[in-house]
Amino acid sequence: MANPKRKHSKSRTAKRRSTKKLKIQNLSVCPNCNSIKPPHVMCPVCHYYKGNLVIPVKEKSKEK
């Protein structure tokens, strides 16, 4: 089995991640409230995703 000879340093991993995160600039519009949100993610404004209301985690903990 081929294995890397040395572990990547923390700075090397951080440099790679920092450049890849800059490429993520996708934005979609929420069909419920027309606000800008990241795609494939629940809307942070109205908590809707694919037409369904997603209940926030904070409210579920209060019921218990």
Which parts of this chain interact with Zn ion (CB under 5 A)?
30, 32-33, 43, 45-46
Task: Provide, rounded to whole angstroms, the least separation between the CB of residue 45 and Zn ion.
Answer: 5
What's the min distance (Å) between Cβ of 35 and Zn ion?
Answer: 5
Q: How far is the CB of 63 from Zn ion (least distance, A)?
A: 24
Cβ proximity to Zn ion, 13 vs 28, nearer residue: 28
Pick the closest to residue 48 from 61, 35, 64 (CA basis): 35
Task: Report d(CA 45, CA 59) in Å as an integer.
Answer: 16
